[in-house]
């Protein structure tokens, strides 16, 4: 990790937006993403007891994905149609995988969800990381390919090698590094991990200005 570049990004951002994500412009941006509202909805809809009804859980999953500002508008209808068209065995696998991902063995759950998404060529980083980042906003991460690749390159995360195909190994290490990086800068830059990766993304854009 290039700490010098990270600290430089912090200085530039804090100069432009004093107070970090407490700055009025950043607060307005945060309202557009409805992070608090989405976090509350996900934590309620995917509490452990809510996984008793497969059909309800799948509809909740569709609702969250299609409501998220972080998921591409092109992926939303495809995901909805994919989930609605799943055979019962894959419906059950997707729900049990998501439950495991949020409440049990994360790797097992991640790989189970991934396996179901692969059946419909829907194995996208955004789709497999969106629910966890709302459910555990201070721990999990949303993987946006362009941001991930830029962060890895610019901040010299040399142990990471991005691939379009999601994998647990990459996710776990990327998450660990993001959680390490946020401890090196002002706390106002990381009210949640989605905001912190947003700061990193904006820092990359600033280097091109």
User: How many CB atoms sit inside 10 A of residue 17's CB?
Assistant: 20
Low-confidence ranges of the chain (pLDDT < 70): 206-209
User: In this predicted structure, what is the pLDDT of residue 207?
Assistant: 58
**Rounded Cα gap, residues 110 and 115, in angstroms:** 9
pLDDT at 32: 81
Residue spans of the domains in the chain: they are: 3-33+139-207, 37-135
Look at the block and give the residue holding tokens 């091109």: 208
* pLDDT score of 206: 64
- Is-contact 137 35, C-beta < 8 A? yes
C-alpha dist (Å) from residue 170 to 53, 105, 165, 198: 31, 16, 10, 19
CA 207 to chain centre: 23
| pLDDT score for 27 | 87
pTM comes to: 0.91
**pLDDT for the residue 185:** 94
Q: Is residue 21 within a helix (H) or strand (E), and if so which, with residue range?
A: none
pLDDT value of residue 209? 45
């Amino acid at each position: 990790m290039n700490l010098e570049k990270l600290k430089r990004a912090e200085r530039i951002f804090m100069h432009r937006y004093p107070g970090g994500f407490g700055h009025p412009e950043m607060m307005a941006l945060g309202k557009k993403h409805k992070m608090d509202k989405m976090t509350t909805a996900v934590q309620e809809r995917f509490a452990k007891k809510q996984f008793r009804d497969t059909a309800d859980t799948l509809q909740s999953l569709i609702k969250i994905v299609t409501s998220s500002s972080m998921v591409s508008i092109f992926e939303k209808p495809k995901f909805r149609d994919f989930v609605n068209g799943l055979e019962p065995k894959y419906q059950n696998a997707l729900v049990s995988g998501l439950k495991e991902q949020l409440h049990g063995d994360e790797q097992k759950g991640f790989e189970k969800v991934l396996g179901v998404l692969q059946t419909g060529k829907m194995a996208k980083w955004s789709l497999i990381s969106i629910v966890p980042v709302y459910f555990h906003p201070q721990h999990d991460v949303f993987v946006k390919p362009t941001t991930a690749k830029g962060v890895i390159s610019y901040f010299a995360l040399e142990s990471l090698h991005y691939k379009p195909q999601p994998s647990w190994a990459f996710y776990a290490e990327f998450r660990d590094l993001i959680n390490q990086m946020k401890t090196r800068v002002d706390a106002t830059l990381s009210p949640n991990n989605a905001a912190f990766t947003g700061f990193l993304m904006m820092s990359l854009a600033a280097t091109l200005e």
